Amino acid sequence: MEEKIISAALEEMKVHGFRFTMDDLTRRLHMSKTFLYKQIESKEKLVAKILDYLMAKFEREEKLISESELPLPEKLIYFVRAYAKTFQFLDHGIYTDLQSSYPQEWRRWENFRRQKVEVFLRRIRQGIDKDIFRPINLAVVERFLLVMSSSLADESFLRENDLTYAQAIESMSDWMFHGFIKK
């Protein structure tokens, strides 16, 4: 039942962001508010469970990529795609809503995002050590990834450019991995 509630909440977030109400959710689920609150005691707890669900989903995907026999450069590409796919919920001003309405959960999300950037950097470091990648300044890469992944979640930027967060991350990763020079 919890996963059904989380899925419905994610659907509501596509329409209302984190501004959806528990009434919106009960209508979508065709259940009483009493029953919903017996399952999840508050919207704050629901927000935490949504993030738990999304982070666990990404962790499962990351594990599959890590354990695969893919070459390291492809693992990095799949890692970024999994990130974009899992966290495409950041559209519709959700990132800003999370930051302003649920600061504790936003900090938890930021810590998770920073951890994933560290995973990415470790893989780049591994590629440099194995002479797969040329040496680069990893501090700059880290800063770039943190700033860009956050900046690309900006609602007005996405709306002005008719993009989803996943599309913006995919576009960033395309030129990051393949460069600007036409081959």
pLDDT at 172: 87
CA distances to 72, 113, 132 from 128, in Å: 11, 23, 6
pLDDT at 161: 92
Residue boundaries of the structural domains of the chain:
48-178
Residue 59's nearest CA partner among 67, 69, 47 is: 67
- Angle of CA points 112, 115, 117, to nearest 5°: 115
CA distances to 26, 98, 183 from 18, in Å: 15, 7, 43
pLDDT at 92: 61
CATH architecture of the domain with residue range 48-178? Orthogonal Bundle (1.10)
Q: What is the largest CA-CA distance in the chain?
A: 61
Q: Show the low-confidence residues of the chain (pLDDT under 50).
A: none
What is the C-alpha to C-alpha distance for residues 121 and 159, in angstroms, rounded to an integer?
30
What is the C-alpha to C-alpha distance for residues 157 and 96, in angstroms, rounded to an integer?
13
Query: What's 109's DSSP letter?
Result: H
For 78-114, the pLDDT digits (tens) are 998 888 888 776 666 777 788 888 999 999 998 998 9
Average pLDDT, the chain: 89
User: Residue 68 is encoded by which pair of tokens?
Assistant: 């695969």
